[in-house]
């Protein structure tokens, strides 16, 4: 589901990627429609860096993103699989196995890439 990023979304993106100055995808030229795909594809140098950036988020930020993933507002479709694995492990460690499994189920049923 394409959405316009809220102030909270932008704050989370900038917390995890302080170098973020614009909210447009360099590849498509369109506005970001999710937080995690640009974090993974435009700011994180690799899966380890993605994890370091996730560590900047507090549990409230993580619960918020998890809720958006589960309601279909936040897309993982464009996030590389190895980064999804990092995210799932991170959620498992911080929010618990049930949250990680729910996200995995959502990810597996999601189709396509929503910027």
In this structure, is residue 1 part of a structural domain?
no
In this structure, is residue 114 part of a structural domain?
no
> Residue 82 is part of which domain span?
7-109
In this structure, is residue 2 part of a structural domain?
no
How many separate domains does the chain show?
Answer: 1
In this structure, is residue 46 part of a structural domain?
yes
In this structure, is residue 115 part of a structural domain?
no
In this structure, is residue 82 part of a structural domain?
yes
Name the average pLDDT for the chain: 89
In this structure, is residue 87 part of a structural domain?
yes
Give residue-wise pLDDT tens across range 11-67.
999 999 999 887 776 666 677 889 999 999 999 999 999 999 999 999 999 999 999
In this structure, is residue 39 part of a structural domain?
yes
HEC readout, the chain: CCCCCCHHHHHHHHHHCCCCCCCECCCCCCECCCCHHHHHHHHCCCHHHHHHHHCCCCHHHHHHHHHHHHCCCCCCCCCCHHHHHHHHHHHHHHHCHHHHHHHHHHHHHCCCCCC
């Amino acid at each position: 589901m394409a959405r316009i990023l809220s102030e909270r979304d932008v704050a989370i993106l900038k917390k995890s990627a302080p170098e973020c100055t614009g909210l447009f995808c360099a590849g498509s030229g369109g506005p970001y429609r999710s937080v995690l795909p640009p974090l993974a594809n435009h700011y994180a140098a690799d899966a380890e860096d993605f994890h370091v950036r996730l560590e900047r988020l507090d549990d409230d930020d993580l619960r918020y993103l998890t809720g958006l993933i589960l309601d279909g507002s936040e897309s993982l479709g464009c996030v590389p699989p190895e980064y999804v694995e990092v995210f799932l492990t991170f959620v498992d460690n911080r929010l618990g196995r049930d949250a990680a499994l729910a996200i995995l189920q959502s990810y597996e049923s999601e189709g396509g890439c929503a910027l």
